[in-house]
Every structure is written in structure tokens, then in C-alpha cells.
Amino acid sequence: MTRERVAERLGSTFESLPDESARGLPVYRGKVRDVVLGGKNLLLVASDRISAFDRVLSSVPCKGEVLARIASFWFEATADIAPNHVLAGPGSGLSGTGRATLARRAEMLPLEVVVRGYLSGSAWRDYQSGRAVSGIALPGGLSFNEKFPVPIITPSSKEAAGHDRPLSRAELLAEGLVSEETWREVERVSLALFRRGQEVAARGGLILADTKYEFGLVDGRLTLCDEIHTPDSSRYWWAESYPSRYQTHEPQRELDKEPFRRWLVERGFAGDGEPPRIPEEVRLETSWRYLQAFEAITGENFEPIGVDPQSESAAIARIVEERLL
Ligand SMILES: Nc1ncnc2c1ncn2[C@@H]1O[C@H](COP(=O)(O)OP(=O)(O)OP(=O)(O)O)[C@@H](O)[C@H]1O
Ligand SMILES: [Mg+2]
């Protein structure tokens, strides 16, 4: 896809799933995705909304399709490691839209399982101010974005309202959020998924620095749910520039929406008050980055499946009728 064609789509992004497409089924609306809830199954629809600092601020052409298709790529690339919730997805059983994923409805564990290969983000901020990172006491003298000898797991609770809380292993077990047996399996699977993620990302010249998994139980079986290794749930860096930037303590070149966040911060917005209006060139540039992410991760050129929001909404309505009602 060319930049010109992305620009043509600035005026026709997929903002949200119309109520009619759900055919009377309940819809859960997250910040970025709309989820049509069937009895046994659900349909995850990735919109083009973009959030930063927990606020939806704008829309970005093709973003939803890019995310859904990156997740779909990774579910396939990790299917031998753990069962996942996918029944059909973009390019594999669902037509007319690239942003919908049909999945088994799971009983979700109330946890976000964050795996970190490098000392970055909130873990770096905690470390710098002398706090343990989700109960893990790290050795002294580590540098910004330093690679850990082995990846660590820093879980947090998934709160219905408010911000997620970092938890130690001991805390999450004491609070009974998950049984010890299940947690051990979560740890084993998460580390294996992350290792695979790092290997595959490396082939595209990328470092998967950290990511977040969500698991659920389907017929009593631990199942990988939600999304996997998308730029929205992960931090990716370009591998080529890692060593020199690490040496000089500069921020890494990121693949994800960090530049979008930085643009906001430069204009004095960090989540509170009135957000600035997002100009078209920023929406275009952000879209362009998501397309590059798709190509680096999957090794394929991005050609959109979805044509426009109206025809995608109609295709989704058909999928709901045939597969969910
Ligand atoms: N297989 C599944 N079964 C049941 N729920 C699922 C499944 N996969 C994902 N979910 C849930 O569906 C929702 C997806 O919504 P989404 O991620 O867009 O919003 P959110 O997590 O509520 O908020 P945020 O916008 O901060 O991510 C999440 O609550 C996720 O936990
Ligand atoms: Mg979510």
C-alpha cells in the first residue's frame, strides 16, 4: 500500500461498529475494539481508534486491520505452543473485512501477564525510583533498556474500573486470582510464547522488548485470548540501532505508537485536560508506521482487505448472523 492510498483513507476510517451490525447481540466497547458477545463465541472487531494515556484521541487509517492481522499472524506462529481462542480470522475464514476475529468466549483470568526482556517503560521508572518491579527485586546497577539475562514476568491485575495494579506472584496467589497450578502453566506458556516472539521478530530486524498476554479458560483449558504481539500490546525496537542507542542511553527507535505519544507530550498533553486536535499529517504518519510494523513483523506487503467502513460493517453483520447468532 502506498502513502497516497493511505492518505485517501483519512476521511473514511472505521470509527466504531454500528449497533445494527451486532444484530441484537450485546456489544462490549473497549477503547480500541468492539466485541460482539455471542453465547459460546465472540467477535472481536478492531476499530481504527487510537488511544494514548488511556484516552481515545483520534482514528488512524487501516490501524484496526493491521492489528487484527498482526495478531492473526502470531496466533498461527505460536499455535504449537499453546491453544488460543481463534476460530476464524482475517484471511482465514472471514471475508469482506480484515478487522474481525471470531473467537471462543473464555472465562478470563483477571490478570495481564506482562513479559519483559529488557528494562524499559514502567519497569525502568520503578527501578529508577528504587521500587521493586511487580515484587521482583532486580540487581543494582542496571542501565536503561538493558537486556535481562532471562525475561521476567511482571503481572498486573485487570481492574474493571481505574488503572491496573502491579502484583507480585505471591500477591496474586494470596488474592486467589488464579490457582498456583494454573499460574505455573501461565508462566511456562508465557515464557515460551515470548521466546518464539523474539525469534520471529529478529528475522524481521526487530527486537520484541516486552509484551502483554491475556489468558482465559475454555472448557477448563488454559487458552491464550485477546491479542498477541501487536504493536498495541507490545514494545518493539529496531534491532539495528539497539546497541549504539543503548550505549549512549538514548531512547530506542520504536515501532509502536511511541512517536504519537511523544507528539502529544511535546504539546503538553499527558492524559489530563483537553487533548490537542490531531492533524492529518500525524494521523497519516501514524498509519504509515503501523503498515511498516505489519511488513516488518509478517514479512508481507500490506494490502487492505477492507474496502470502506460501510461494506465492512455489512460483512461483519453477515458474520454475526452466520457464526454468532
Ligand atoms: N476469548 C475471550 N473471551 C472473553 N473475553 C475476551 C476474550 N478475548 C479478549 N477478551 C476481552 O475482550 C475485551 C477486549 O476489549 P479491549 O481490549 O478493546 O478493551 P479493554 O481491554 O476493556 O480496555 P482497553 O481499551 O484498555 O484495552 C477485553 O476485556 C478482553 O479481556
Ligand atoms: Mg485490552
Rounded distance from Cα 128 to ligand 2 centre (Å): 27
DSSP 223: E
Residues spanned by CATH 3.30.470.20 within the chain?
A: 108-247
End-to-end Cα, the chain, rounded Å: 35
How many C-beta atoms lie closer than 10 Å to residue 169's C-beta? 17
What are the start and end residues of each CATH 3.30.200.20 domain in the chain? 3-105+302-324
Q: Which ligand is nearest to the CA of 84?
A: 1
Of the CA atoms within 13 Å of residue 174, those in its CB half-sphere come to 5
Residue identifier of the C-alpha nearest atom 31 of ligand 1: 226
* Domain 108-247 sits in CATH 3.30.470.20: yes
| Distance between Cα 44 and ligand 1 center (Å) | 8
Q: Is the CB of 33 under 6 A from ligand 1?
A: yes
Taking the centre of ligand 2 as the mean of its atom positions, its distance from the CA of residue 255, in whole angstroms, is: 19
Q: Note down pLDDT in tens along the chain; length 325 residues.
A: 999 999 999 999 999 999 999 999 999 999 999 999 999 999 999 999 999 998 999 999 999 999 999 999 999 999 999 999 999 999 899 999 999 999 999 999 999 999 999 999 999 999 999 999 999 999 999 999 999 999 999 999 998 777 778 999 999 999 999 999 999 999 999 999 999 999 999 999 999 999 999 999 999 999 999 999 999 999 999 999 999 999 999 999 998 777 898 899 999 999 999 999 999 999 999 999 999 999 999 999 999 999 999 999 999 999 999 999 9
Which ligand sits nearest to residue 44's alpha carbon?
1
Q: Which ligand is nearest to the CA of 30?
A: 1
Asked if 226 contacts 214 with a C-beta cutoff of 8 angstroms, the reply is yes
Query: Considering the domain 3-105+302-324, what is its CATH architecture?
Result: 2-Layer Sandwich (3.30)
Alpha helices in the chain (DSSP H): 3-8, 63-77, 121-128, 169-174, 180-203, 242-247, 258-266, 280-298, 309-319
Q: DSSP E strands: which ranges in 15-133?
A: 27-29, 33-37, 41-46, 49-52, 55-59, 86-90, 93-94, 100-104, 107-108, 111-118
